[in-house]
Chain A
Amino acid sequence: MSMDERPISAPELNPEVEAFFDAAGDGKLLVKACTDCGKAFHYPRAMCPYCRSISTEWREASGKGEIYAFTVLRRAPIPYAVASVRLAEGPQMITNIVGCDFDRLRSGLPVRVVFRASEGGAPVPMFTPEGDSE
Chain B
Amino acid sequence: MSLNGAAYIAGAFEHPTRKAPDKSVAQIHAEAAKGALDDAGLTFDDVDAYFVARDGPGVLGGIGMAEYMGLTRLRHLDNTETGGSAPLVMVGHAAAAILAGRCRVALITMGGKSLTGDPKRMMPDQYGAPELPFEAPYGINTHAIYAMAAQRHIHEFGTTREQMSWVKVSASQHAQHNPAAVLPRPVTLEEVSESPMIADPLRRLDCCLNTDGGGAIVVVAPDIARQLKRPPVKIRGAAEAFKHQDGGRVDMTYTAARFTGPRAFAEAGVTPADIKYASVYDSFTMTVIITLEDLGFCEKGKGGAFVSDGNLIAGVGRLPVNTDGGGLCNNHPGGRGGIPKLVEAVRQLRGEAQPAVQVPNCDLALVHGTGGFITTRGGSCTLILERE
Contacts and interface: CB of A to CB of B under 8 A. Distances in A.
Contact of A68 (B147, B152, B200): B152
B150 to A, nearest CB: 8
B199 interface: yes
A70 interface: yes
Contacts of B252: 68-69, 84
A9 B136 CA distance: 7
Interface string B147-162: 1110110010000000
Interface of A: 6, 8-14, 16-17, 20-21, 39-45, 48-50, 68-76, 80, 82-84, 87, 90-96, 106-107, 118, 124, 126
Contacts of A73: 139, 141, 143-144, 198-199
B248 interface: yes
Interface in B170-196: 196
A82 B375 contact: no
Contacts of B136: 9, 11-12
B137 interface: yes
Contact of B199 (A9, A71, A94): A71
Contact of A90 (B143, B148, B249): B249
Contact of B245 (A48, A92, A96): A92
B249 A91 contact: yes
B247 A42 contact: yes
B128 A14 contact: yes
| Interface SS of chain B | mixed
A41 B248 CA distance: 6
B200 to A, nearest CB: 5
A72 B140 CA distance: 10
A49 B134 contact: no
B197 A74 contact: yes
B133 A94 contact: no
Contacts of A49: 246-247
A45 B134 contact: no
B131 interface: yes
Given A17-B134, A73-B198, 13 more contacts: A10-B137, A11-B134, A12-B133, A20-B133, A21-B133, A41-B247, A48-B247, A71-B148, A82-B144, A82-B148, A91-B247, A107-B155, A126-B138
A11 B130 contact: no
A74 B198 contact: yes
Contacts of B130: 14, 16, 43, 45
B135 interface: yes
A70 B151 contact: yes
